[in-house]
Structure 1
Amino acid sequence: MASALSKIPPLPLLRALGLFRDGLAALHRRLVPGHIAILELQMTGFLTQAIHAAAQLGIADALVEGPRSPVELARAIEVNEDGLRRLMRLLISFDIFAQKRDGSYALTGMSQALRSDSPVTLRDLFLFFGSEYHRKHWTHLADAVRTGHAVGPALDGMGFFEYAAAHRDIGELFDRAMTSISTLSTEPLLAAYDFGRFGTLVDIGGGEGSLLVEILQRSAMTRGVIFDLPEVVTALPVQLAGLADRLTVDTGSFFESVPKGGDAYILKHIIHDWSDEEAERILRTVRSAMEPAARVLIIEIVLPEHHRPHAGKFIDLEMLVNATGRERTEADFRNLLTRSGFTLTRVVPTAAPDVILEARPAP
């Protein structure tokens, strides 16, 4: 995957393209009648469920070997042919799949990401976000806005992480979904920041270790520690092949203690799951394990101050509905770090929505 670094466009170009795209979309919304513009936005909810259905039915996997006619594809995935044609008609109109001149269906660049064997697969992400469990929670968005609290305790009798631990079908799907979305930012992170300058990296809440494995494969002198709950890291031994001498696993709760001796501590998509009070508790736990020269690397979406569309604004509502956390601005992170005993030293943007916030222990 190292060669993929050269494929990442320069940040100024990405920003210019983003501004151009947002400008065209805003112009369209202003030119059409308001009721038409908002109806078009509402219809995208149907599209997300159509993508979920394609992931659930395994359509992309069935097309890996090449195009198939509607009859062949319907037989392969054991569905009604007419229902399949109607689903594919919508997905093809958004270039998610393609239809050849002979009527057969084929993969596109987007549907490659729905393959279960793709190097960067988002299949599990769509399965989780389109699941009945997740949809049920989002139907109560108004309640979350009304109260300011997640809806899980009222609907499930417990918060999301407790529910995921007790219901491992949801928990494992969530873990795979987060791993899949994490792979999207791996190359942009490695292109933007030199993780190999640290002797020992500790990945707090590192899940299945995808980021740390990539770092160690490219930095022969770096050692790593993956730290997460016992039920999360059970799948790790398979991934440690070839790195067993430099990569170890430790288990526990980051609210209580984390491994000592790290030169840098990575917190990727951890802080946004928690309230300010809980996030401060996590950071203070990490701070107590750090030497003065060590660094903490918080990898999160940083909310912009502008009013254009941004991925963080969607995820912020996900946090409102399903967690105690929130997305934060750079000023929010600076204040949180200061209260937790850190000084923010660098803010490193990447070609992904993620930003790396580097901080050192305050004197």
Structure 2
Amino acid sequence: MVTEQPETSPLPKIPPLPLLRAVDRFRSFLTAALRRTAPAPVALLDIVQGGFLMQTLCAAAELGVADALADGPLRLDALATRVGAQPDALARLLRPLLAEGIFARDSDRYRLTSLAEPLRADAPVSIRGILQFYGSSDHRAIWSRLAEAVRTGDPVTEQVLGLPLFDLTRKNRQFGEMFDGAQTSASQLTLRPTLAAYDFAQYGTIVDIAGGHGRLLIELLTRAPRSRGILFDMPEVVAEVPAHLTALGLADRCTVEGGSFFESAPTGGDAYILKHVLHDWYDADAGRILRTVRAAMPDTATLLLIEMVLPSDNRRQFGKLIDLEMLAVVGGRERTEQDFRTLLSANGFELVRRVETAAPDNILEARPIRQ
């Protein structure tokens, strides 16, 4: 397990949500307007171009171009030597990225731009792990069977790679480490906006269900010194966490429990967090998880779901593509707010409110329905 110190530096300034939403609407309007004015084949080819550009970006991340430029600009030959690439081929790789403002070239030297910074492995918010996973041949192979997943409504990971996703991550550690890296990147991307959007310190005991290595819970406890925590995940996932908590000085405020959320959950919490859990499962299994948590919760506790929420209209949103990722890879789904209301109501909860964040995630606050 990678041991990470909690991020105790002040939260960076996050743009106001109304501004972010306005920019997103304006961008969507411009994109739609451009596509309406272009001939249909040209507009569709522009979408195809996005796939090529994504793979170009993934190749730059795999080569470590941003890391090589972290100490300052480099000439092409020096940069190629640093990343182990053929100079002419590297220049050709960087050419479309320069056009997008990802990297820049001043005279004969390449340098980082603000858009390139998150490609560094050691960036405060790095997306390198996401790119390495989404750009991998295994992930591309799964998406090449998307039509089959749509025909059947079932994931295709086992057909393509021989095992369901979560079994594969355990048995093929190369794939598992790549997947873990993507999860860590996603966590970094959403962590600070989540902390800024909601007052977790109001709860005495916070239970993080399927909390992995405890990154979210550790951050919460660091910023809420009066709160206590319980981290719950499969025994093999949390095996090394107690030593990490001791090293951070949190062992007296956080306990660790192993188990399956289909069978049990810790009792006695004031808030129960399910972050990026329910989207892995269709409604039947998601309902089983919710009922297990409900059985463990006091009637006065709060359930906090941290998930993407799909809009009910036709606006562009990343979650609509991640919904297809969940379909093809694990057989899960993203949900609208009404989907969450229905799912919660059927399994012992009432949705109280939805809190948007500056990241793609929302925080859905729910309370138990008393019997």
TM-score normalised to structure 1 length: 0.96
| SS of structure 2 residue aligned to 1:259 | coil
* Gap change, CA 1:235 and 1:59, over 3 Å in 2: farther
Comparing 227-236 and 254-263, the one that deviates more: 227-236
The corresponding residue for 2:205 is 200
The corresponding residue for 2:298 is 291
What is the correspondence of 1:104-123 to structure 2 with a 5 Å cutoff?
A: 104-123=109-128
**By how many angstroms is 1:238 displaced?**
3.7
| SS of structure 2 residue aligned to 1:325 | coil
Once the two structures are superposed, residues 198-253 of structure 1 have per-residue CA deviations (whole angstroms, 9 ceiling, x without a partner) of 01111111122222121111111011122122333355344651322212322221
The corresponding residue for 1:144 is 149
Percent identity over the alignment is: 52
Once the two structures are superposed, residues 46-90 of structure 1 have per-residue CA deviations (whole angstroms, 9 ceiling, x without a partner) of 111111111111111111110110000111111101111100111
Comparing 59-68 and 343-352, the one that deviates more: 343-352
The corresponding residue for 1:346 is 353
What is the correspondence of 1:1-363 to structure 2 with a 5 Å cutoff?
A: 5=11, 7-101=13-107, 103-234=108-239, 236=241, 237-238=243-244, 241-363=248-370
Cα RMSD after superposing both structures: 1.5
2: CA distance, partners of 1:33 / 1:4 = 49
**By how many angstroms is 1:192 displaced?**
1.5
Contact 2:8 2:222 (8 Å CA) reproduced: no
Contact 1:128 1:177 (8 Å CA) reproduced: yes
Q: Which amino acid aligns with 2:65?
A: I
Contact 1:183 1:210 (8 Å CA) reproduced: no
Q: Which amino acid aligns with 1:153?
A: E
Number of equivalences: 362
Identify unmatched segments of 5+ residues in structure 1. Answer: none
Contact 2:138 2:161 (8 Å CA) reproduced: no
* Gap change, CA 1:203 and 1:65, over 3 Å in 2: same
| SS of structure 2 residue aligned to 1:7 | coil
Identify unmatched segments of 5+ residues in structure 2. Answer: 1-6
* Gap change, CA 1:96 and 1:234, over 3 Å in 2: farther
**By how many angstroms is 1:182 displaced?**
1.5
